[in-house]
Chain A
Amino acid sequence: MTIPADTAILSRKARSWTLVAGLALVGLHLVVALLTLVWTPFDPTELAGRRLEAPSLLHLAGTDRLGRDLLTQIMIGSRIALTVGTAAVAIGAVLGTTLGLLAAFASNWLDDALAAALDILIAFPTLLIAMLVVAASDGANLSTAILALGLGLSPIVARLARILAKRVLLMDYITAARTSGTSWPAIVRIHVLPNIWPGLSVNLALQFGLAVIAEASLSYLGLGAPPPNASWGRLLQEAQGTVFSAPIGAITPGIALVSLVIGINLLADGLRERNDPARSER
């Protein structure tokens, strides 16, 4: 069956729209995060206004219980979310890919054992693993949260890396490389990594979104960035008690969180379409 040309054009347009919208949303957060390194409307700890002020020209998102500017806090929250997301995904990617490749290259029984272990780990929600790691470490702070989330994400990455790598290892060019005496590290570097990267990168982008939500959850539970770090999760937690009298305090960090995660997902979608020519031709 052939698809009429105009529909194909429309869906391609829609696809490029997802990539552009994703880039725009994530880019906006990135710009804000970078901006906070040099400028914020107020000092984040300054008691700049009265308690729970409504939005005004001076405080565009109002103030919190202590009278601190909420826009400032939310902007800094972008920085924290992006930092944690990037670092956690980096840890998860390095650890997960290493484990996954090890399993893919391993002998049958080791592969089975690793695959089973990964399946068991995946059965635990990322957040739960992260909470265990934070609980086991000495006190909650930003770096334990990053490490915990990285560890929590690694089994998901590992499983995907293993499957993708196994598929690549069946290819003729691998057999050719092997018979010509190419070393294993070289095969990984030259053949396997470049071939699994497109699939893996899309998944990593999705994991990034998960990591951002998980960080907010950890902070909401008091296991993430300690005060006065303005994590969105902590802002939500602090606004919980005032949600009836000053709902804006809970709405704005929520919007920030949702916009970043949607942006990342749109970006991942767009990337998948670009990296997967077979699908975009359909």
Chain B
Amino acid sequence: MLHSRKLLFSAAFLVATSLSPLAFAQDFDPDATVNIGSLYEPQNLDNTAGAGQGINEAFNGNVYEALFRLTDDGKVEPVLASDTKVSDDGLTYTFNLREGVSFHSGEPLTSADVKASIERVTAEASKSSRKKSLATITGIETPDDRTVVVKLSQRSISLPYNLSYVWIVNDAAGDITAKEDGTGPYTLSEWRRGSALALERFDKYWGTKPSNEAAVFQYFTDATALSNALLTNAVDIVTSVQSPDALQQFSDNPEFTVSNGASTTKELLAYNDRVAPFDKIEVRKALARAVDKKRLLESIWGSYGQVIGSFVPPTDPWYVDLTNIDPYDPTGAKALLAKAGLANGFEFTLDTPDYDPHPIVAQFLQSELAKINVKVNLNIITANEWYTKIYQKHDFQATLQEHVNHRDIVFYGNPDFYWGYNNPKVVDLIAQSETAASEGEQTEKLKQANQIIAEEAASNWLYLYPQIVVSTTKVSGYPVNGLNAQFFVSGIRKAD
């Protein structure tokens, strides 16, 4: 009822405005400044120097472009590469560069810039989290200014995808941790550390002109302050809302739009699969069955989010619903523990990052696992401690973490990864998926790998976050899925 009344009203409004002699040619202000509220301030401006996810949010596709890009609906499409040829053996990729592209400093884009940009990511000193996925590149040639030839040691079906997060930077730019020189539709106009990062339309941009003049990312450290900023119109959009309780004030208010998109962020209880008792499949499966994930999800996210039963989110092409492999079944969990020789339960330490939602999730797990006589001792640690103790030294029994990336099932094919899952069959499948000749074959291999990982309960995948963007009704045209933490601002329209 309510909906149809709203529709009727807007229809009447449309008729009224179109009849008016003062009707607007366009319903948005092309010179507007869009204020974007975010919790993820970058540490620096270089995505290969440990800047955090915030730099991808602010710069990917806005300030820097790549040869390809991952669109908001998960497709890989060419940007600076105007066309791509792949040799029959799949080992040589020839990219032709788009004509008429120049950097913000005024220099034209050449193949040397592309070569230097890829080498920045694969360099020894690079801290890019995806460096390993470009390790198959053996050489880059630049026969002329418009052509880049990339040689591989083996087939790499994800190369275009992997190149989508390799920023093309002017090779003369030098250190880009505090300045930029990209080809994107915006230039960096000001960066006030601790508060905001301002982007301004680049007038010589080669592509479609942005539908706003400037975009300012305003950074907040507290979600409540961020919500208040939106309520008071200090910001127009909030890139991702982290609690369902902050939403009520917006969903009940006609001045705001709440979008519920697909995220790639997974909350998981990661065991150290190298150490007892988590080296036993029965124990891991028992813990998977002992946790009522639907209830946990509801506790954290209310009616938002999704339980997916594995590490693969629905936006990955190889997604399969695997929630039935280890459904909630405390009795079955006890039986599995008994089978593993732990009929009386056991005790373990859960290293819990000190920020939301991990402490509350940890308490839920503590309560659920107590029912099958498994005692969980919580050890609260900082993000830095997590990185050194767990990610680098692998010194832990179990931990909680959220993994934000798209297509990151490949981590299970790396036995040296922090969780230490090592099944040679999975390692092979994941390696073969990368050398597959077609996307169909790649998808097939990864589906098989995912099935095995889930059957062996390599980790305890608790839930998939929702991606919730809230804005005032004045703005539209923003991305709603936030894959790989990107937030393209070029299409955002703000009404007068």
Residues of A within 8 A of B (CB): 45-47, 51, 65-68, 139-140, 222, 226-228, 238, 240-246
Contacts and interface: CB of A to CB of B under 8 A. Distances in A.
B438 interface: no
Given A66-B363, A227-B363, A228-B363, A240 B299 contact: no
Given A65-B360, A222-B380, A47 B367 contact: yes
Nearest to B379: A139
B378 A45 contact: no
Given A226-B378, A226-B380, A45 B363 contact: yes
User: How many of chain B's residues touch chain A, expressed as a range?
Assistant: 20 to 34
Contacts of B367: 45-47, 66, 68
A139 B377 CA distance: 14
Q: Main SS of the interface on chain B?
A: helix
Given A47-B367, A65-B300, A227 B356 contact: no
Contacts of A244: 245-246, 248-249
A245 B380 contact: no
27 contacts: A45-B363, A45-B366, A46-B367, A47-B364, A47-B367, A47-B368, A51-B298, A65-B299, A66-B299, A66-B360, A66-B367, A67-B299, A139-B381, A226-B378, A226-B380, A227-B360, A227-B378, A227-B380, A228-B363, A242-B243, A242-B245, A243-B224, A243-B245, A244-B245, A244-B246, A245-B245, A245-B248
Most buried by B among A66, A67, A226, A238: A66
A228 B370 contact: no
Contacts of A238: 360
A241 B380 contact: no
Closest 8 CB pairs of A and B: A242-B245, A245-B245, A241-B243, A45-B367, A226-B380, A66-B299, A222-B354, A228-B363
Contacts of A65: 299-300, 360
Contacts of A241: 223-224, 243, 245-246, 356
B139 interface: no
A51 B380 contact: no
A271 to B, nearest CB: 38
Interface in B287-320: 295, 298-300, 302
Contacts of B363: 45, 66, 227-228
Nearest to A52: B245
A226 B366 CA distance: 13
Q: Main SS of the interface on chain A?
A: loop
Interface string B349-360: 000001010011
Most buried by A among B223, B363, B368: B363
A64 to B, nearest CB: 9
B197 interface: no
Contacts of A240: 224
A227 B362 contact: yes
Contacts of B249: 244
A212 B360 CA distance: 24
Contacts of A140: 380
Interface in B356-399: 356, 359-360, 362-364, 366-368, 370, 378-381
A222 B358 CA distance: 12
A243 B356 CA distance: 16
Nearest to B370: A45
B395 to A, nearest CB: 14
Contacts of A243: 224, 245
Given A45-B370, A68-B367, A244-B246, 15 more contacts: A47-B295, A51-B299, A65-B299, A65-B300, A66-B299, A66-B363, A66-B367, A222-B380, A227-B378, A227-B380, A228-B363, A228-B366, A228-B378, A241-B356, A245-B245
B82 to A, nearest CB: 47
Contacts of A222: 354, 359, 380
Contacts of B224: 240-241, 243
A139 B380 CA distance: 7
Contacts of A227: 359-360, 362-363, 378, 380
Most buried by A among B300, B360, B370: B360
A51 B249 CA distance: 18
B378 A66 contact: no
A2 B363 CA distance: 64
A51 B303 CA distance: 11
